[in-house]
Amino acid sequence: MGNRPNLIYVFADQLRYDALGCTGFDRAATPNIDRFRQQAVSLSNAVSNTPVCTAYRASLMTGKHQTSTGMVINELRIHPGQRCLGHVLTDAGYETAYIGKWHLFANAFGNHTDPRNSFVPCGPHRLGFDGEWAAYNFHHENYSPAAYYHTESPEKIFYGDGVYEPTAQTDLAIDFLRRKADAPFAIVLSWGPPHLPWRPDNVPEQFYRLFRDAEFAHPPNYRDRDDGHADDWQRFRSSEERAALTAWQRGYHAQVASLDVEFGRLMAALQASGAADNTIVVFTSDHGEMFGAQGRHAKLTFYEEAARVPFFLRWPAGLDAGTDVDVPFGAVDILPTLCGLMGLDAPESADGLDLAAALRGQAGAEPEASLLMCCGATAAWGDGYEWRAARSRRYTYAIYRSDGSEHFYDRGTDPFQTVNLADDPAHSDEKQRLRAWMLAEMLRIGDDFRPNSWYEANWTDGNRNVIRSAIAEFGMPVPP
């Protein structure tokens, strides 16, 4: 093992980039995360290549886009015949722990609480995380009995009366850290907040109190009509939902504040363990939340509110503190880059790049942009929602499959993406350059930009089990 660093990878669910004090939200209650940002490298152009729960998690585990993993919508079961983060860590001798939301196993639309969907049995479907396991596939109620986890049986383990799930999950991570501090260890901590529901009773009252009377003005890109390209999860289903935006944001930011306290506890335990200097700690999110911007809520769009995420990486023994790296960086780059920092071999099948040199402030190959994609609606099969996009340091280009409509935004002068420059002759060269880069990147990974129904018919077994992708024939489903 030599002196390879430990790893603590912490990610929230639906935490948008600008929801923290250190990223510009002046009412945030995030002192611990803000302090951590000053100690870390910030990847200021980090994005979720497909800003939705399952696709992000598949990219995190494999270093591949959703067209390469086959995870083209939510509620699919990933094929375990892929080399993943857990395999790399376990094979290198790390003691591993996975704690929290998984969202890569259930092959059912709904029925999340059935143990057949929520329990991931020991074996190949844990994707190499063969150490300690305290996880569930999907839920977002933060108190028992609706909140629970599994270890080595389908039996649900409930938290104590009034125990907030992120607090219990952080306790599990701290306990593992204290027991394994002298061994090479790797912890993945996947919190559920600040994903909806954003009710006052889904977060401790002390945090809701901070935002109980807060008012939230609509952003400059708010639209009072739904985006015609939005799916059923992204549309406002009623005027009452639009009227609830302020209440939603109160609950959302209360949940963010609650995570800050848990993150602070975890960092204090790491410092007390004596292992902090040689431990890589990542704080990030799987995607953001629109809150009415562009006539949408939820995620799964190329707009900044959904696609851009905080990504702070601290390693006192290996990286300079308080630096900002603006290289385009997507979820597919996380696994190769962690491997580069940790001295491990990244899977050859990864689509992403090892950008460790950029984090070290060294010269090296850097991508011109990040490829973003959506292969269908959030969780249901059906055509009409597919898009592809490219995001460079300054510009965003996107195209919808259904009608060929193009979007091109100069985020340097228009950070809220209010003016579509796709037909502006003054920006034609920049648009065509980014579009050409996107098409070349799609060709590199074998992405044919198919309709969603084609993926259902060709990449699954008809029962939401992935059996192939653009780059691989995985074979028939592996029994749990």
In this predicted model, what pLDDT tens digit does every residue of 392-410 receive, in sequence order? 999 999 999 999 999 999 9
In the chain, what are the domain boundaries? 6-361, 371-459
The runs of H, that is alpha helices, within 356-400 are 356-359
Q: Residue 98 is encoded by which pair of tokens?
A: 């996975």
pLDDT bracket for residue 109 (50, 70, 90): confident
- Averaged pLDDT of the chain: 97
Cis, bond preceding 145 (omega within 30 deg of 0): yes
pLDDT exceeding 70 applies to what percent of the chain? 100
User: Mapping DSSP to helix (H, G, I), strand (E, B) and coil, where does residue 91 land?
Assistant: helix
Tally Cβ neighbours within 10 Å of residue 335.
26
pLDDT score at 416: 98
Residue 278 predicted with pLDDT over 60? yes
CATH number of 6-361: 3.40.720.10
Residue 476 predicted with pLDDT over 70? yes
Residue 1 predicted with pLDDT over 80? no
Average pLDDT in the 162-185 region?
Answer: 97
Tally Cβ neighbours within 10 Å of residue 334.
27
Contacts 24+ apart (CB under 8 A), 462-467: 463/107, 464/75, 464/76, 464/77, 464/107, 464/108, 464/109, 465/76, 465/77, 465/79, 465/107, 466/69, 466/70, 466/71, 466/76, 466/77, 466/78, 466/79, 467/70, 467/79
Q: Which helix or strand (DSSP H or E) is residue 211 part of?
A: helix 205-211
Q: Bridge partners of 148?
A: 158
pLDDT score at 110: 84
Q: 371-459: which CATH architecture?
A: 2-Layer Sandwich (3.30)
Convert the pLDDT of each residue in 206-229 to its tens digit.
999 999 999 999 999 999 999 999
C-alpha angle 219-224-228 in degrees, rounded to nearest 5: 110
Residue 284 predicted with pLDDT over 70? yes
Please state, in angstroms and as integers, the Cα–Cα distance from residue 96 to each residue in 209, 259, 267, following that order: 37, 22, 18
The runs of H, that is alpha helices, within 234-345 are 239-243, 245-273, 304-307, 334-342
pLDDT score at 122: 96
CB proximity list for 413: less than 8 A, separation 6 or greater: none
Average pLDDT in the 177-193 region?
Answer: 96
pLDDT score at 108: 87
Strands 279-285 and 311-314: antiparallel
Q: Residue 388 is encoded by which pair of tokens?
A: 């592809």
User: Mapping DSSP to helix (H, G, I), strand (E, B) and coil, where does residue 429 land?
Assistant: helix
Measured torsion, CA atoms of residues 461, 466, 468, 472, in degrees rounded to the nearest 10: -160
Residue 2 predicted with pLDDT over 80? no
User: Sign of dihedral through CA atoms 15, 17, 21, 25?
Assistant: negative
The answer to whether the CB of 46 falls within 8 A of the CB of 302 is no
Residue 319 predicted with pLDDT over 90? yes
Convert the pLDDT of each residue in 336-364 to its tens digit.
999 999 999 999 999 999 999 999 999 98
pLDDT score at 473: 97
Select from 8, 10, 47, 42 the least CA-distant residue to 373: 47
Q: CA 131, CA 200: separation in Å to the nearest integer?
A: 36
Contacts 24+ apart (CB under 8 A), 150-154: 150/115, 150/118, 150/119, 150/120, 152/122, 153/119, 154/115, 154/116, 154/119
